[in-house]
């Protein structure tokens, strides 16, 4: 499904936490990992070649345990605007998934989601997986202190799919069907609406059709629900009712996950939920 994944790392201690979650990508069919760091402006008096070699060496050191876990691992260092360079390298490497890490409820995470992740999502031609790294409650010593971060559960034991029945959501659902064939686990299909209750039966019927498709694909258990809160609130609440699921959403839908609210919905879910978030752009390959 996602045989080759590109993993963008910032080489902070949080990067090591993200790496510890990567073995869970096996459940998505991943066998190859490309670890990427995009360098910014370096020391003006330093040697750029030496700096690049040090960054590549660091990536290789971080990925050593992943090789012991059976993954094929390569390291690449790019230069330039991070989101554009990540997308470029993903295309160049033939990656079918881009993996990004972020720190929840912090200024670091807010800047990351506002710039890099949103930039990648706007330009990506592959699904993007956000893996969350939360700051320790007693993290008073700064981000460079070992052990100052903890990982959220990697990919959960079930899948939550949020849909607005748009074309973008339909395209994202293709990946959910592939997950059903691959993982054959539990699935929750969710639609959030603010319309009158008399329109809900139409949504329930549409969800029933999606449920049937998942069962045919191999899902063991599927449940559906129509929620009344806002889109982000509905997803966050649903993810909190059980152990964190893998949340799957399409991007650039009409309203529920629409272009004008993509940033706020993705940011709210990423900030308030510890669940990993798989976002599928409308023009993704697959």
Query: Alpha-carbon distance 277 to 21, whole Å?
Result: 13
Both 100 and 175 in one domain: the answer is no
Under 8 Å between Cβ of 20 and 109: no
Both 134 and 197 in one domain: the answer is no
Conformation bin of residue 46: beta by default, left when phi > 0, alpha when psi is -120 to 50: beta
In a domain, 286, yes or no: no
Domain that holds residue 94: 4-151
Query: Alpha-carbon distance 65 to 59, whole Å?
Result: 11
In a domain, 285, yes or no: no
Q: pLDDT category, 233, cuts 50, 70, 90? A: confident
Query: Alpha-carbon distance 102 to 195, whole Å?
Result: 34
Taking residues 94-103, report their average pLDDT. Answer: 85
Residue 147 three-state SS: coil
Q: Tell me which H or E stretch contains 65.
A: helix 48-68
Taking residues 185-194, report their average pLDDT. Answer: 86
Under 8 Å between Cβ of 227 and 199: no
Q: What share of the chain is helix, strand, coil (3-state, %, to 5)?
A: 45, 25, 30
Query: Alpha-carbon distance 169 to 165, whole Å?
Result: 6
Q: How many domains does the chain have?
A: 2
Can you give the CATH number for the domain in which 216 is found?
Answer: 3.40.50.620
Both 21 and 110 in one domain: the answer is yes
Residue 15 three-state SS: helix
The more confident residue out of 195 and 187 is 187
Under 8 Å between Cβ of 144 and 12: yes
Both 131 and 226 in one domain: the answer is no
Both 67 and 193 in one domain: the answer is no
pLDDT tens across 65-84, in order?
999 999 999 999 998 888 99
Return the exposure string of 4-39: e unless at least 16 CB atoms fall within 10 Å of the residue's CB, then b: bbbbbbbbbbbbbbbbebbbbbebbbbebbbbbbbb
Q: Which of 151, 181, 214 is the last residue of a domain?
A: 151
The more confident residue out of 190 and 142 is 190
In a domain, 235, yes or no: yes
Both 192 and 264 in one domain: the answer is yes
Instruction: Indicate whether 9 pLDDT > 80.
Output: yes
Both 143 and 177 in one domain: the answer is no
Conformation bin of residue 53: beta by default, left when phi > 0, alpha when psi is -120 to 50: alpha
Question: pTM, whole model, 2 decimals?
Answer: 0.83
pLDDT at residue 189, rounded to an integer: 96
Both 145 and 55 in one domain: the answer is yes
């Amino acid at each position: 499904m996602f045989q080759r994944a590109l993993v963008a790392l910032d080489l902070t201690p949080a990067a090591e936490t993200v790496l510890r979650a990567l073995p869970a990508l096996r459940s998505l069919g991943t066998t190859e990992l490309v670890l990427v760091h995009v360098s910014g402006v370096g020391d003006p008096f330093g040697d750029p070649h030496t700096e690049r070699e040090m960054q590549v060496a660091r990536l290789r050191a971080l990925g050593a345990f992943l090789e012991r876990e059976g993954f094929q691992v390569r390291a690449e260092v790019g230069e330039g605007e991070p989101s554009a360079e990540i997308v470029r390298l993903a295309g160049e490497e033939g990656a079918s998934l881009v993996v990004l890490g972020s720190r929840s409820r912090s200024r670091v995470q807010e800047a990351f989601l506002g710039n890099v992740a949103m930039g990648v999502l706007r330009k990506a031609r592959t699904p993007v997986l956000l893996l969350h790294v939360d700051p320790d409650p007693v993290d008073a010593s700064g981000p460079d202190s070992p052990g100052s971060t903890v990982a959220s559960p990697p990919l959960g034991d079930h899948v939550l799919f949020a849909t607005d029945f748009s074309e973008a959501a339909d395209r994202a659902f293709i990946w959910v069907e592939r997950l059903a064939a691959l993982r054959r686990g539990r699935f929750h299909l969710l639609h959030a609406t603010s319309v009158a209750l008399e329109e809900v039966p139409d949504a329930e019927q549409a969800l029933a059709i999606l449920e049937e498709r998942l069962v045919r694909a191999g899902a063991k258990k599927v449940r559906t629900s129509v929620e009344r809160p806002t889109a982000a609130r509905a997803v966050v609440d649903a993810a909190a009712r059980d152990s964190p699921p893998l949340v799957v959403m399409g991007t650039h839908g009409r309203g529920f996950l629409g272009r004008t609210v993509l940033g706020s919905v993705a940011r709210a879910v990423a900030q308030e939920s510890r669940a990993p978030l798989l976002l599928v752009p409308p023009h993704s390959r697959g």
